Amino acid sequence: MNIRFLGHSTFLLQSGEHRLLIDPFISGNPTSPVTLDEALTWKLSAVLISHAHGDHWGDALAFGQAGTPIIATAEVGGYAQKHGAANAVAMNIGGTYAADWGKVTLTPAWHSSSFPDGTYGGMPTGLVIELGGQRVYFAGDTCLFSDMRLIGDRGLDAAILPVGDHFTMGPQEAARTLELLRPRVAIPMHFGTFPPLTGDPQVFKRDGEAQGVDVRILQPGETTEL
């Protein structure tokens, strides 16, 4: 699996012919290395949404209105359907959606969730994604919580974790999650995009590597392979 960082919390996962776009914050993202017009040319298997905040929901409707499935909670999926995303999948925490590309399971996340227009966005989530024989945990926006150990029990090839502080956990708290998640690889996200996000990914890298985890800090546009 190739994991490409598109800035903030936006990632493109690819294995073979399948591509999954996570939290498509492209327009308005000062760190995005691609334009929305470019991204709309990609052949995507699905767009996965962790929660409804504008820096995660982002350009989801543009993809959904073009026919790409949007996979998210009932509130997010229902909102997408109401606004012209006919192939949106509305599910909920604990549920698993299976497709020809693999699976995604929604997990809890401790945060909040509302759309830019103020509509309630349901509970925020994390995502456990199975693609190309690999299992990746995308934490979304969250703090450390003890049930991450149960997510780690699934066996994780990679964990993608927010480290920016202020709105999510900071780098030291994020490094503590690695004790529970036990991934082979960890990738930090949600840092440096806006002034409040002061968490230092180098601190996360230092503390994570002290636990024997392969911590990879990606710059927007960079790709790593599992």
Token pair for residue 114?
A: 């509302």
> Measured between alpha carbons, how far is 191 from 201 in angstroms, rounded to an integer?
7
pLDDT at 138: 99
Q: How confident is the model at residue 206 (pLDDT cuts 50, 70, 90)?
A: very high
**Annotated domain spans of the chain:** 2-218
Q: What is the pLDDT of residues 174-195, one digit of tens each?
A: 999 999 999 999 999 999 999 9
Mean pLDDT over the full length of the chain? 98
52: nearest Cα among 77, 18, 81, 20? 77
pTM, whole model, 2 decimals? Answer: 0.98
3-state secondary structure (DSSP) of residue 137: strand
pLDDT at 75: 98
Burial class (CB in 10 A: 0-12, 13-18, 19+), 203: middle
Which numeric CATH code is attached to 2-218? 3.60.15.10
pLDDT at 134: 98
Q: Which residues contact 200 (CB under 8 A, 6 or more apart)?
A: 163, 171, 191
Q: How confident is the model at residue 141 (pLDDT cuts 50, 70, 90)?
A: very high
Q: How confident is the model at residue 160 (pLDDT cuts 50, 70, 90)?
A: very high
Single-letter code of the amino acid located at 203: V
Average pLDDT over residues 197-202: 98
Query: C-alpha 223: how far from its chain's center?
Result: 15
Instruction: Report the share of the chain in percent with pLDDT over 90.
Output: 100
**Tokens 């190739």 sit on residue:** 2
Q: What is the pLDDT of residues 67-119, one digit of tens each?
A: 999 999 999 999 999 999 999 999 999 999 999 999 999 999 999 999 999 99
Q: What is the pLDDT of residues 15-40, one digit of tens each?
A: 999 999 999 999 999 999 999 999 99
